[in-house]
Structure 1
Amino acid sequence: MPASETTPLLENGNGVPVHRPFSQRLVAAIKGEGEPGWIASYRHFLFGSWFNILLLFVPLSVISHFLKWDAAYRFSFSFLAIMPLAKLLGEATEQLSTKLGQTLSGLLNASFGNAVEIIVGIAALLQGELRIVQTSMLGSILSNILLVLGCSFLAGGIRYNESTFKATGAQTASSLMTLSCITLVIPAAYHSAQTRNPSPSGYAHLLETLRDPQVTLPELSEGGMSGLLTLSRGTALLLLVVYILYLFFQLKTHADYFKAEEEDEPTEARMNMVAAGSALLLVTVVTSFCADYLVASIEEVAVRYHIPKAFIGLILLPIVANAAEHVTSVWMAMKNKMELTIGICVGSSIQIAAFVVPLLVIVGWIADRELTLFFADFETITLFISVMLVSLLIQDGKSNYMEGVMLITLYLIIALAFWVSD
């Protein structure tokens, strides 16, 4: 056998040099020395819990969607299908964390969780549904930093009296989240200044507006809209640069700010790296399809049960789209892995605010769609107070169930406000 087709010489039990075939070396490199095999990995992944029996609803979700069954069936089947997929996503992430570490695995989970938002956002943007893009992005941020983080703190606080995490890393993340929030306040302030200073010819319309509330204030002038687009696109480019620098800061230069303390009993590896990674990718793709089917059925269900559209766009859809991410975060909190929980919740929100939204603005620029960073005043204020509360609660590097209750309460109040806003 040619030397090029063999590995370096190894020794058998008698000390005699032997050759190992190239195929064995390739399998060992893919699987990893000392890691479980592919069959054992996927057996644990698919049959490790009785909860996975709900995977039967995945094909039912697909069938009901393409056969155009009643919206109630499509909604129920898709919702039940997402639940076991969410748990599997958490299992794959936990197995990856045994090798990659909690910081990188949390970033990976947040990235896979936001892939659905990027795909849906670009699709809606190209169809000219700019308002849907904005409300879904805002809803995803609020869902992550209030509902998911609140449920995680609550679940972790019930099991442990107090959980701790690296305060420095959490404060850095919350500061970037605050910066991203401020970049939404500035376009709102610009829009407000432009529309509240009408030209002399517009004062008659303003007086008419005061007499008749049904008459709306004048829209931005052509110059004002051009300025808003320039402000939004310039800000988007700067945010993308800041986000790239944040990744370098988080993973390279200051990685110790985000790493958890070493555990006394590390998690046992039940899957090899490639199997866990491929399972994470596969489950994410299947979950995105089920989420799309669920979203497609929601509007019909909403009309039948008289659910406001504002509530659907900013509250219901983000919960459904991020269901896998939500369960993963709570699951990690119950295992007292708060660094991973913070990485998923706050990290996902940062990705949306500092990467996904600016990316969509740039894509809109390329596709000649006038997507801006201007949100309605009520939505901007809601986001600002939410970020402020989260920053206050995580600055000490500790969490308990009462902090979780506070975050969930604020989210419920916001949900109530959107319920009556339509």
Structure 2
Amino acid sequence: MATIAKIQPKNLISIGLLVFIPIAIAAEKLEWGALTVFVLSAIAIVPLAIWLSTATEEIAVVLGPAIGGLLNAVFGNATELIIALVALKEGLVDIVKASITGSIIANLLLVMGLSMLLGGLRYKEQDFQPMVARVNGSTMTLAVIAIVLPATVITTSNVVEQSAINKLSIFVAIVLIAVYAFTLLFSLKTHSYLYDVSVVELEGNVSQDEAGEQGEHGKPNLWFWIGILLVATIGIAFVSEIFVGAVEEATKGLGLTPLFTGVILLPLVGGAAEYVTAVRVAIKNNMDLSVSVAMGSSLLVALLVAPILVLVGQVIGQPMDLNFNMFEVIAVIIAVVIANLISLDGRSNWLEGMLLLATYAILGAAFYFHPV
């Protein structure tokens, strides 16, 4: 997928948010209440996600576009994957499944909507490569089929054994991972020229203020950022344990269903870094990169994150299938269709951004009032 533009973590806001990590730990140890722990740990995950994203991007600058693109493709949604794995280990299968559809919907509607709206307010119209949008849209169609299929099998059959659904989900997961491997081959090797939308953005973001962290020839210090990548990953895994431990009780106290929690709340926490990146580069008139981040993140969730969760669930004794709630399926179809229609012409404006955001708001309200 496309390389993600660099987020500057060394600003007062990002550094200031790091203080919530020890506060969240203290809140859990001192038993300040599930809601307090939930909010504090959610805030604590955000700066860690930003550091993880930034470290990935800095390493990509050093290693070059091919390896760097692969690294971004693997680590692009690492925060969401870590949170989902922790939740799956705790047996919160319904929330994990909802978070998969929620991440797809949020990237296609919320992230693209905010990017087109804020970018369109600054520039009358913005252009991006329609070919990339078409390729991503076609691949997302396959992902939708994979999500629809198990639910359709159950709906159209009188009795379907759970073991059959599990086997179907495992087969589909393997196929999706294979498709993701082919999309990497397409985007990083055979048709890499279509995705070269961020090399200048990445290299141009290496500022003189970071000379202390860079090695010779003005390139980032590889080992420094590898260290940051490892520390951020471990930190996210640790804080996610606290976050997931409080999420069920906290959301019940707020009167929220597991469906709404997974579809709306979890993607907002796990995808914060990518959301900031997409909006920031859109404001800088790099809508190519913004669309690539939004659609690429959706593909990563559908083709890699979801299948990994299905396979890992079988291994750890928390079997998760791809039999999604029918309303989730309909919501994903709506998101994919609208995102494809708006992005096909390779141009965007603030009104299209508003349409995407309005769709997201309506779907969010529907999930809030959904009884299941």
Q: Same fold judged by TM-score > 0.5?
A: yes
Contact 2:114 2:279 in 1 (8 A): yes
Residue 241 in structure 1 maps to residue 211 in structure 2:
no
Gaps of 5+ in 1: 1-43, 196-219
TM-superposed CA distance for 1:388, in Å, is 0.7
Superposition map of 1:87-236 within 5 A: 87-89=50-52, 91-92=54-55, 95=58, 108-109=71-72, 111-126=74-89, 128-195=91-158, 220-222=159-161, 225-236=162-173
Equivalent position SS for 1:194: coil
TM-superposed CA distance for 1:110, in Å, is 5.7
Tell me the alpha carbon deviations over residues 19-44 of structure 1, each in whole angstroms, 9 at most, x when there is no partner: xxxxxxxxxxxxxxxxxxxxxxxxx9
Q: Specify which of 183, 189, 195 is matched with residue 252 of structure 1.
A: 189
Contact 2:70 2:188 in 1 (8 A): no
Contact 1:103 1:340 in 2 (8 A): no
- Identity within the alignment, %: 37
Superposition map of 1:17-416 within 5 A: 48-49=11-12, 52-89=15-52, 91-92=54-55, 95=58, 108-109=71-72, 111-126=74-89, 128-195=91-158, 220-222=159-161, 225-260=162-197, 266-269=204-207, 270=210, 271=214, 272-274=220-222, 275-366=224-315, 370-416=319-365
TM-score by length of 2: 0.82
Given residue 78 of structure 1, which amino acid in structure 2 is its aligned partner?
S
Equivalent position SS for 2:16: helix
TM-superposed CA distance for 1:361, in Å, is 2.4
Q: Distance in 2 between matches of 1:160 and 1:94?
A: 27
TM-superposed CA distance for 1:81, in Å, is 3.2
TM-superposed CA distance for 1:123, in Å, is 4.3
Gaps of 5+ in 2: 1-6, 215-219
Given residue 258 of structure 1, which amino acid in structure 2 is its aligned partner?
Y
Given residue 267 of structure 1, which amino acid in structure 2 is its aligned partner?
N
Q: CA RMSD in A?
A: 3.1
TM-superposed CA distance for 1:309, in Å, is 3.2
Q: Distance in 2 between matches of 1:303 and 1:242?
A: 38
Tell me the alpha carbon deviations over residues 238-260 of structure 1, each in whole angstroms, 9 at most, x when there is no partner: 21111101101110110011112
Equivalent position SS for 1:306: coil
Identify the range of structure 1 (380-389 vs 149-158) with the bigger mean alpha-carbon deviation.
Answer: 149-158
Equivalent position SS for 1:307: coil
In terms of Rg, which structure is larger? Answer: 1
Tell me the alpha carbon deviations over residues 220-279 of structure 1, each in whole angstroms, 9 at most, x when there is no partner: 344xx4443333222222211111011011101100111128859933443414134433
Given residue 242 of structure 1, which amino acid in structure 2 is its aligned partner?
V
Q: Distance in 1 between matches of 2:319 and 2:57?
A: 41
TM-score by length of 1: 0.73
TM-superposed CA distance for 1:78, in Å, is 2.9
Identify the range of structure 1 (158-167 vs 94-103) with the bigger mean alpha-carbon deviation.
Answer: 94-103
TM-superposed CA distance for 1:87, in Å, is 4.8
Aligned length: 353
The structure-2 alpha-carbon separation of the partners of 1:143 and 1:317, relative to structure 1 and needing over 3 Å to count, comes to same
Given residue 23 of structure 2, which amino acid in structure 1 is its aligned partner?
L
Given residue 157 of structure 2, which amino acid in structure 1 is its aligned partner?
Q
